[in-house]
Copies of this chain bind each other. A is one copy, B any other.
Amino acid sequence: MSETIRVQLNEDEMPRAWYNIAADFSKPMPPPLGRDGKPVTAEMLAPVFPMNLIEQEVSTQRWIPIPDEVRQILYRWRPTPMRRAVGLERALGTPARIYFKDESVSPAGSHKCNTSVAQAYYNREYGIKRMTTETGAGQWGAALAMACKLMGVELRVYMVRVSFDQKPMRKMMMNTWGAECLSSPTNLTQAGRDVLAKWPDTPGSLGIAISEAIEDCVNSKNTRYGLGSVLNHVLLHQTIIGLEAKEQFKKIGRYPDIIIGCAGGGSNFAGIAFPFLADKIAGSKSPRVTAVEPSACPKMTKGVFAYDAGDVAMMTPLLPMYTLGHEYQPAAIHAGGLRYHGMAPLVSHALRQGLIDAVAIPQVECFAAAVQFAETEGLIPAPESSHAIAQAIREAKQAKEEGREKTILFNLSGNGVLDLSGYQAFKDGKLIDHIFDGDDLKKSLSCIKGLPKPPPL
């Protein structure tokens, strides 16, 4: 028989702890700051997050145990399979071996469930009865809706108005799991009312929705806020992806030369990459690790490393990160999950130190890659994940030119079953590329002019 196509792990091989890369960085991370320029304290975050998650957010402990109850839920779809993309390899005629970690098998269809279950659990453990969050395209809102239902926590989701109208199925999915899903801006918050008074016809934005969710949270009893990416504890929960992949490579006696993840806020990329970066930091291995961003929102390849806010209304602390400026409004590409102005501080820190590299790819190339993947592997990827596939194909073609049998790993962060309109637009030749114009950078960054500057590395 030929080589195993799908590398599986049993329940007892699923990691029992998350990996915290903050323990291993040789250079210290700059701390998040308040508007006064002073480091944020746990007490300042307490109205927004439960203390057990704040502890994870600031922890420098290398291994953080996964609670038994969280593991019992994750077992329902984890460990996820790592598959070899034999059909794609054949179509490319490449000597490279292409593996992907399949996070699309979770109940909500993406990696977001890895952290949603943990967040709902820690909130419930802390006595929280209700959570609020925002969602753009809806993957995060759906994942948190599922987790909150399983943990018995109420949830209200502020969904960006344009997506709320365009993607009714995502809202129905959240409703099926018992969550309330509102079109943001609403008239339930001051932030929403202010926006509606000024621009009644606004399509909404992630920035506005975050402001509404945080305002709702701090003004409500027994309520906390959940974020689907960017923050340290969110990335921590995703490291289970890469930890499993390492075990799976052990089983087949290999180690990847190249590791690839798409990057919006940074959580699925961190999930696949950080456990391998541990080996790179230790000096035992030297994989090339690439974060792929959309050309429409290229904070890592065209932005600056600076202190910036996580939302338009600047309600969040200032985070040290690669950014295009918190007022930047990315073009309406189909990969809604990659339309975020900043990159997670932990990923930004890794990039700044040269542990990873970054590349920006336009959406038409990504959809072409996604269709080739669907046609050869049978699986329709999320538009976000298609960025990782496009880069994997670039690398496989490069390996063919060089005649080298490289081992490539990418993360398939989710499936595209609810994103088929993007595929149809591509098939109909109606997709266009949105390339961030470097000339806009000055304008885009003007909003962070007065903010504190991070220290040199």
**Interface assignment of A377: CB less than 8 Å from any CB of chain B:** yes
Interface string of A99-131 (1 = CB under 8 A from B): 000000101110001000000000000000000
- Which B residues are in CB contact (< 8 Å) with A176? 371, 374, 380, 420, 423-424, 427
Q: Which residue of B lies closest to A107 (CB)?
A: B378
**Interface assignment of A175: CB less than 8 Å from any CB of chain B:** yes
**Interface assignment of A417: CB less than 8 Å from any CB of chain B:** yes
Q: CA A379 – CA B113 in complex, angstroms?
A: 12
Q: How large is the interface on A (under 10, 10 to 19, 20 to 34, 35 or more residues)?
A: 35 or more
- Which B residues are in CB contact (< 8 Å) with A105? 105
Q: Which residue of B lies closest to A8 (CB)?
A: B8
**Interface assignment of A421: CB less than 8 Å from any CB of chain B:** yes
Asked whether B75 lies within 8 Å of A424 as measured between CB atoms, the reply is no
Given contacts A73-B378, A172-B421, A378-B73, contact A150 B427 (CB under 8 A): no
> Which residue in B76, B83, B113, B177 is a CB contact (below 8 Å) of A374?
B177
**Interface assignment of A297: CB less than 8 Å from any CB of chain B:** no
Asked whether A172 lies within 8 Å of B424 as measured between CB atoms, the reply is yes
- Which B residues are in CB contact (< 8 Å) with A12? 1
- Which B residues are in CB contact (< 8 Å) with A178? 375
**Interface assignment of A10: CB less than 8 Å from any CB of chain B:** yes
Asked whether A375 lies within 8 Å of B177 as measured between CB atoms, the reply is yes
Nearest CB in chain B: distance from A350 CB, A: 32
**Interface assignment of A30: CB less than 8 Å from any CB of chain B:** no
Given contacts A10-B8, A417-B109, A418-B417, contact A76 B175 (CB under 8 A): no
Copies assembled: 2
Q: CA A216 – CA B12 in complex, angstroms?
A: 53
Q: CA A72 – CA B423 in complex, angstroms?
A: 27
Asked whether B107 lies within 8 Å of A379 as measured between CB atoms, the reply is yes
**Interface assignment of A169: CB less than 8 Å from any CB of chain B:** yes
**Interface assignment of A11: CB less than 8 Å from any CB of chain B:** yes
Interface string of A378-397 (1 = CB under 8 A from B): 11100000000000000000
Asked whether B76 lies within 8 Å of A6 as measured between CB atoms, the reply is yes
Given contacts A87-B150, A175-B427, contact A5 B76 (CB under 8 A): yes
- Which B residues are in CB contact (< 8 Å) with A424? 172, 175-176
- Which B residues are in CB contact (< 8 Å) with A107? 377-380
Asked whether B371 lies within 8 Å of A423 as measured between CB atoms, the reply is no
**Interface assignment of A56: CB less than 8 Å from any CB of chain B:** no
**Interface assignment of A149: CB less than 8 Å from any CB of chain B:** yes
Residues A400-431 near B (CB distance < 8 A)? 417-418, 420-421, 423-424, 427
- Which B residues are in CB contact (< 8 Å) with A376? 150
Q: Which residue of B lies closest to A176 (CB)?
A: B423
**Interface assignment of A2: CB less than 8 Å from any CB of chain B:** yes
Residues A47-105 near B (CB distance < 8 A)? 72-73, 75-77, 83, 86-87, 105
**Interface assignment of A4: CB less than 8 Å from any CB of chain B:** yes
Q: Which residue of B lies closest to A418 (CB)?
A: B417
**Interface assignment of A173: CB less than 8 Å from any CB of chain B:** yes
**Interface assignment of A292: CB less than 8 Å from any CB of chain B:** no
Interface string of A189-206 (1 = CB under 8 A from B): 000000000000000000
**Interface assignment of A356: CB less than 8 Å from any CB of chain B:** no
**What are 10 A-B pairs at a CB distance below 8 A?**
A2-B72, A76-B379, A107-B377, A107-B379, A108-B378, A169-B421, A172-B421, A173-B417, A173-B420, A175-B423
